[in-house]
Structure 1
Amino acid sequence: MAGFTNSINGFWTYSDISIGDYISFLYGARIKDLYRVTKKVAYKNAENLPPWPSIKFRNSGNTYYFPFRLHLEKVRDLDEPLVKAEFAYVAENLLLRGGYKKTHFQADLTTLHNVSTMGRMNKIVPEPLEILSETFTPKIVFNKKTKKIPFEFPFHEFILQSLVRKKIKDFLLKEVLENFSKNLSVDDFEVLGEKALPEGFVDIFIKLKYPIATNRYVLVEIKTKRANTNDIEQLHNYLKQIGKEVIGGVLIAKDFPKAKILKSDIMYVKYCFKNLDVNNAYSFEELLKMLSFTII
């Protein structure tokens, strides 16, 4: 079992990871084991639940506990150094971001395939931890005055990034490829989370699953509110960093300035949540269904 705290990072991790995903842990610059997520549960009264005690920080006075839990099935035993060439995607992300600044980030399929050949198959079935507690569905609110953590969290850019990542391949990527006149199949691509670049972080990184000789990339930046000219220039600079293998960029925002700087390598997309009532609270899954895109 993995637990995540009563914080926006903890809630984001719980929402971002899906049942059926494979995860490993990073500790001391080593990759530890491979697990499959079998269940997701948010527990009430988690401050009193095993196996982790609450943690109080002296400086802030904040107390953290672990209401968001992932039930895991161990698939492989492994303990490998991060410096291996097979972990280049992970190592580069850590190096450029300066360490473990976020609870998790997504590796590509090549890394997963490499990990799946390392170590050995797990043969031990651990005794399950029985937890007797009520569960709840965490909600997202747009009126910050109504939040009640960990039951409710204010809408945050992390949450929007995760929502877009889960929906962009089926509802937007085809139009993106056509917009840039690329005769490529959507199925050839994988959609990854935040990718560290030498001069910043791109919110969503889209690449070929199995590149041969050359790769193809789409970079996506996301803004919860109105985008501005600085956001456009930022994405344009990211595209220049990637170079010739980049297809183009997508800037997704709630709105755009009327006199935006037009860039031929950037596609502009508005997002919205259909029939949203800002006075209501919504689950992550509800917002995922409500999310829609409009190309401008």
Structure 2
Amino acid sequence: MAYFFVAVSSRKNLELCVKYALAGFPNSINGVWTFSEIQEGDFISFLYGAKAHNLYRVEGKEAIKDAKNLPPWDTMTSKSSRKTYYFPFRLYLTPIRKLNESLVRAEFAYVAENLLLRGGYRKTHFQADQTTLQSASQLGELYDETADRLDLNEYEIFMPSFTESKGKVSPPEIFRFIEVILQATIRQHLSDENNLADFLYQIGVETLDTSKLEVLGEKALAEGHIDILIKEAIPIGLARKIIIEVKTGLAKLQDISQLSMYLDEMGNECLAGVLIARDFSRKILQEAKRQRISTFEYKVDIIENGVPVTFNELKEDFQLIRVT
């Protein structure tokens, strides 16, 4: 189970989310990314006004067809792009704890640091670590109110899908397969203990207990951000970690340089740096070996023919192959 902070755009939208125990995400790549990444059984808190609002468990997910005029949220039109956004991607929530806590608390340092280094809320969601979830589980008080039921007339649902073909993109049903979707696929792939154990074996880090590790999404640093961070959920004495850089296309020399810089910033407790890409040239593999960076090619054969596929189909077909 993972823990996410979901950014809300206005006080009114926050109140509607709380009233109906419902999270909604827009008809955009960020919206479908969030919807795909957060799974049933995960936990979320709403993020608004630099505060964490309540703790919920995700009980269900639906993508609703023709949701433009469906309650509870109003549509929004971007002043810059003039695109109209609505909320087809929805999470059904069970309230666990009532809280209204500032992010300046030490308990939320992991998320607050990400926000500060990234310069604000420009993402729809932020993944927190297990330490943050444990802290949130002790703040505030148990939720003892009953959420209102949002009654909708008959509606149809769909499963969003992804394609590499620009000509087949048709939001909110079909989106481009881009880097954040690949990152989410890899994170969930490695969140399986068997997959993670095999991955650690291949990079020569076999001393870590996979049951005590967590696989997290983007982690901001002073000079950029790590795509995927594997770390000990409850560090004792040591805070060992592994960092992963993800590229959808051909790996480049600048990817090696960037990952090497992140390794230096993370220090001696960072046991390995890994670059995952679709393909590697011999020159890149030689440079990665020189800098002690492990290299993997990803394979998702199902998407290469251009036919749109769902996120679950991506995960089922996904493979990581060690290359040297």
Q: What band does the TM-score fall into relative to the shorter chain? A: over 0.9
Are the structure 2 counterparts of residues 228 and 169 from structure 1 closer, same or farther at C-alpha, using a change threshold of 3 Å?
Answer: same
CA contact (8 A) 1:86 1:111 kept: yes
Conservation of the 8 A alpha-carbon contact between 2:249 and 2:278: yes
SS in 2 for 1:46: coil
**Aligned-partner Cα distance in 1 for 2:71–2:205:** 54
Residue aligning to 1:143: 165
What number of residue pairs does the alignment pair up?
296
Identity of aligned residues (%): 46
From 308, 312, 315, give the equivalent of 1:281: 308
Identify the match of residue 177 of structure 1 among 200, 214, 220: 200
Is the 8 Å Cα contact of residues 274 and 292 (structure 1) preserved in structure 2? Answer: no
Q: Secondary structure at the match of 2:258?
A: helix
Equivalent runs, 1:116-195 vs 2, <5 Å: 116-132=137-153, 133-170=155-192, 172-178=195-201, 179-195=203-219
**1:271 equivalent in alignment to 2:290:** no
Tell me how far apart the structure 2 counterparts of residues 59 and 223 of structure 1 sit (CA, whole Å): 29
- 73, 82, 95: which one aligns with 2:116: 95
1:108 aligned onto 2:129? yes
Structure 2 counterpart of 1:254, one-letter code? R
Q: Which moves more between the two structures, 24-33 or 110-119?
A: 24-33
- Mapped contact 2:251–2:278 kept (Cα < 8 A): yes
AA in 2 matched with 1:36: R
SS at match of 2:230: strand
Counterpart of 2:273 in structure 1 is: 249
Distance 2:109 2:218 in 1: 16
Contact 1:190 1:207 in 2 (8 A): yes
1:4 to 25, 33, 42: 25
Residue by residue over 1:36-90, the C-alpha shift from the partner in whole angstroms, topping out at 9 and shown as x without a partner, is: 1111001111111001121112332211111101111111000111111111111
Contact 2:302-2:309 within 8 A present in 1 as well: no
Q: Secondary structure at the match of 1:219?
A: strand
Matching residue's letter, 1:195? K
Aligned partners of 1:169, 1:32: CA distance in 2, in Å? 27
- The one-letter amino acid of 1:201's match is H
SS in 1 for 2:158: coil
In 2: Cα distance, 1:288 partner to 1:78 partner:
34
Structure 1 residues 56 and 229 mapped into 2: Cα distance closer, same or farther (>3 Å)? Answer: same
Deviation at 1:279, TM superposition (A): 2.7
**Runs of 4+ off more than 6 Å:** none
**Pairwise CA RMSD:** 1.3
CA distance in 2, matches of 1:89, 1:106: 9
CA distance in 1, matches of 2:134, 2:290: 37
Would the aligned equivalents of 2:163 and 2:303 in 1 still touch at CA under 8 Å? no
Q: Work out whether residues 23 and 37 of structure 1, in 8 Å CA contact, stay in contact via their aligned partners in 2.
A: yes
Deviation at 1:278, TM superposition (A): 2.3
CA shift in 2, pair 1:31/1:276, >3 Å? closer
Residues 192-220 of structure 1 show CA distances to partners (whole Å, capped at 9, x for unaligned) of 00000110010001100110122001000
Unaligned runs of 5+ in 2: 1-21
How far 1:189 moved relative to its partner? 0.7
Q: Distance in 2 between matches of 1:91 and 1:108?
A: 12
Which SS does the other structure have where 1:47 is aligned? Answer: coil
In the alignment, what sits opposite 1:54?
A: 75
Partner of 1:222: 246
Amino acid at match of 1:103: T
Whole-Å separation in 1 of the counterparts to 2:46 and 2:290: 40
TM-score, structure 2 length as denominator? 0.88
After TM superposition, the structure 1 stretch with the greater mean CA deviation from structure 2, 256-265 or 120-129, is: 256-265
Whether the aligned pair in 2 keeps the contact of 1:180 and 1:247 (CA below 8 Å) is no
Work out the CA distance in 2 between the residues paired with 1:278 and 1:144.
13
Q: Which runs of 5+ in 1 are unaligned?
A: none
> Structure 2: which amino acid aligns with 1:208?
E
CA offsets, 1:212-242, max 9 Å, x none?
1220010000000001111011101100100
When the two structures are superposed, what TM-score results if normalisation uses the length of structure 1? 0.96
